[in-house]
Amino acid sequence: MAKSTKRRRIVVFSIIGLVLAGLGAVAFFRKREAVITVQTEKVTRRDITEKVVANGKIQPVLQVKINPEVSGEIIDLPVKEGQSVRKGDLLVKIKPDFYLAQLHQCDAGYESALAGKAQAEANLEKAEADFKRNKDLWEHKLLSESDFIGFKAAFDVSKAQVESALHQVESAKATVASAQDSLDKTTIVSPMTGTISKLNSRLGERVLGTVQNVGTEIMTISDLNEMEARVDLGENDIVLIAPGQTAQLEVDAFKDRKFTGTVTEVADSSNDSSSLAATSSTSQEATKFQVRIRVQEKEQFKPGMSVTAEISTRFRTNALTVPIASVTTRMPKEKDKKKDGKLALADPPATNSVAGNNDDQSCTNCAPTNGVAMEAKTDKKSKGAAKPIEVVFVKDGERVKMVPVKIGISDDNYWEITDGLKEGLEIISGGYRAISRDLEDGKKVKIGPPAGEKGKDGEPDKKD
């Protein structure tokens, strides 16, 4: 009995020992690595158009603000907001009494100047006759020289008085014209055909107007047949915009329709460049530049409507593209730094992609927005701290290869690849965490559905 007990103990402990030793040895020597579930896509050629999105307002191309040049009370306002007017139509009548009185006063002054001129001319005539008569006497030595000089002086004075009177007449005449002009300005007519888009003043209100200053803004007349979208772009995007580029416009009031437009004007200075804030180095507001886009279609737009514009800036035809999610940034390896631009899967740059706008320079706004959003330039000159570079993970059997790439333009879904990949390569396009954090060169991967999704039968996709 004791022997069988002893035998049993030996057998059991031997089995336990063998199992533990075997598992321990396998666990110690065999390295396990995590297999990352990913999704893939192929590098394909497609046409890609870069777009810049901006928000703004619809405004008329031509818009005139009506300000009076004379002050007074509005006694006639025969128009209302929204009314169509033609060129020459009466818009506003200001009380003319003061200016009428002024005109009469000026008229009287003019008449007085005329009378003064007639008087001066009569005096001149008399002085001239006296001078001639006494000159004859002086020549026959019948008159003293002093008397002769006296008559001569009187003649000269009369001539000067006539000249002065003439100038006074002219001055009075100009005053009359000015008073007439002021009187005329009490009646304001429309300078253009359009629509009263804004009416600020009412009948009976007093308005202020001067020749030098702007004065009260009584109303605004707009030509609603020609409308444009005025949108604001940031300083990073404005460099991509040029007159002539096309745009797709979405107006909030017309949600089911898309309109087309053409860029007509690009601001050379920012919106706040003239304000104090612009000169302040501590200004917190973003710098914006205005772009004007002429709307091609005619629609019942109203000034001030909100609009979103998608401006097509650059395009590439038949370019190599990868999904935006597949491009991320990583720190370059030591050997890649030393290669100084040579790439792991380098391919001659694509020769059959056509660039739009003849723009083949390195893009200024091409940093990927997923993953670690950091500077996206390889700095050949830097010998200090390395900067992250754009990479794509290429599936190579069960593992991935990290390939540095050069990116061009992008649209909503794809990046253009200008260097580093060739058509047909299978690249990792998801999941987000895998691409942005987990994946490194040589990591083992398997193809599966994104996290949270299942395959057709409700089970995770087990395809390897």
Partner 1 sequence: MEEPPLEQDAPPKPVPRPKMSLAARLLNVFAIPGQVFGELATSPSAVSNWLVPAVLAAIVGVLSALVIFSQPAVQKQFRERQDKLLQQGSTAAKMTAQERAVVERMTSPPVLKAVGSAGAAIGSFGNVLWWGFILWFLARSLLRVQVSFAKALEVAGLAMMINVLGGIVAMLLIVHVGRVGATPSLALLVKDFDATRKGDLFAAAANVFSVWVVLVRSIGLAKLAGVPYLRAAWAVFTFWILEQSFLILSGIGQWAM
User: What are the residues binding partner 1 (CB under 8 A)?
Assistant: 5, 8-9, 11-13, 16, 19-20, 23-24, 26-27, 30, 32-37, 433, 438, 451-452, 459-460, 462
**Rounded to the nearest whole angstrom, what is the least distance from the CB of residue 277 to partner 1 in the complex?**
32
Q: Which CB sits closer to partner 1, 182 or 328?
A: 328
**Rounded to the nearest whole angstrom, what is the least distance from the CB of residue 301 to partner 1 in the complex?**
38
First to last CA, the chain: 56
**Rounded to the nearest whole angstrom, what is the least distance from the CB of residue 35 to partner 1 in the complex?**
7
Q: Which CB sits closer to partner 1, 376 or 439?
A: 439
Q: Which CB sits closer to partner 1, 23 or 242?
A: 23
Within 10 A of 357 (CB to CB), how many other CB atoms are there? 14
Q: Which two tokens stand for residue 211?
A: 């020749």
Q: Which CB sits closer to partner 1, 13 or 88?
A: 13
370 vs 435: CA distance, rounded Å: 9
**Rounded to the nearest whole angstrom, what is the least distance from the CB of residue 396 to partner 1 in the complex?**
20
DSSP symbol at 325: G
431 vs 326: CA distance, rounded Å: 9
**Rounded to the nearest whole angstrom, what is the least distance from the CB of residue 454 to partner 1 in the complex?**
10
**Rounded to the nearest whole angstrom, what is the least distance from the CB of residue 445 to partner 1 in the complex?**
11
CB-CB contact of 307 with 231 (8 Å): yes
Q: Collect all residues with Cβ–Cβ distance below 8 Å to 130 and sequence separation of at least 6.
A: 151, 154, 155
Q: Which CB sits closer to partner 1, 23 or 153?
A: 23
Q: Which two tokens stand for residue 148?
A: 């002769």
3-state helix vs strand vs coil in the chain, percent to 5 = 30, 30, 40
Q: Which two tokens stand for residue 40?
A: 């893939």
Q: Which CB sits closer to partner 1, 194 or 371?
A: 371
**Rounded to the nearest whole angstrom, what is the least distance from the CB of residue 24 to partner 1 in the complex?**
6
Q: Which CB sits closer to partner 1, 87 or 446?
A: 446
288 vs 80: CA distance, rounded Å: 35
Q: Which two tokens stand for residue 33?
A: 């690595």
388 vs 372: CA distance, rounded Å: 9
